[in-house]
Chains A and B, each alone.
Chain A
């Protein structure tokens, strides 16, 4: 839920990176964190297992600049991708303003993408949201790997509503900021409409 503070002249929005296990959600956040000037970011909090799998969520606040005299701050979250952490995923979607679905482009992960996307729609519904009305971007990650499905085929299967589709290699940063920009733009446009 967007939080507008007139006293401190701030707009705060929440963006959640969703997707199947090991698709690169945390890598997206890590890249954003590593490439942002210290003044524009807070700490990257990672609640992960000993083997670096996200256990609850990753979180980083990112200040993008000023719009109409208001500091614009995005709170970026990831969800744990593994199937059995569904209760946690639901909780993290609470108060969401925009969603990025990170799809794993590898052929063998197609079923996992579909299952996770279905899970996203269902969990959004359980929180009272409809994916069709929410700022949303589809990122096709891991485009550098050899066994990837062509983008058009992935989009045909995973695109839900004509949302922006961004090809990415999160580990090297390709497409990471394009994805963030695409979702942030929709969130701010939504605020303008409301």
Chain B
């Protein structure tokens, strides 16, 4: 049996977007993205016209999964933060519960500032995501919606 779906509602989505926006501005970053640990993009803020965030989400999840595997090999639970510094652009990743917060920044910011700002918002993001999980459990609306999907609906996707 696959896991229970994650269901994102409009209010929580807006809250997450607001936190990502604040974080991006406060840390002078280019882009902030929240990703599910399985590699699904949850929300993004910033100019992503030249950034493939779907691929970024998948590779970030792979990256965190691989380093998490390495952590367990040496007796650690996980490595909660990862940073990759490039010549001009850098990436900072922070594990927050079952989500990954990614900050893409350049030389207008610094790793220290990004780390500080990420730390300041991580509690807030964790709490919003807890609400997402809680709401998904108690709400029956989506069950009704998807129960209405017919075989014809599914077949039409492939026509």
Contact = CB atoms under 8 A, between A and B. Distances in A.
A189 B148 CA distance: 11
A109 to B, nearest CB: 27
A170 B146 CA distance: 32
A155 to B, nearest CB: 24
A135 interface: yes
A58 to B, nearest CB: 10
A48 interface: no
A6 B54 contact: no
B68 to A, nearest CB: 8
Contacts of A68: 145-146, 148-149, 153
Interface in A42-96: 42-43, 45, 47, 56-57, 59, 61, 64-65, 67-68, 72, 75, 77, 87-88, 91-92, 94-96
B111 interface: no
Contacts of A35: none
Contacts of A188: 149, 154
Nearest to A135: B2
Interface size class of B (residues with CB under 8 A): 35 or more
B143 A194 contact: yes
B66 interface: yes
7 contacts: A3-B8, A4-B142, A5-B42, A7-B14, A68-B145, A68-B148, A187-B2
Interface stretch (B57-65, B101-109, B114-122): B57-65
Interface in B1-19: 1-10, 13-14
Interface residues of A, number: 50
A6 B69 contact: no
Contacts of B154: 67, 184-185, 188-189
Given A12-B40, A68-B149, A95-B38, A7 B5 contact: no
Contacts of A64: 157-158
B146 A1 contact: no
B55 interface: yes
Interface string B72-95: 000000000000000000000000
Given A7-B13, A72-B157, A94-B37, A45 B2 contact: no
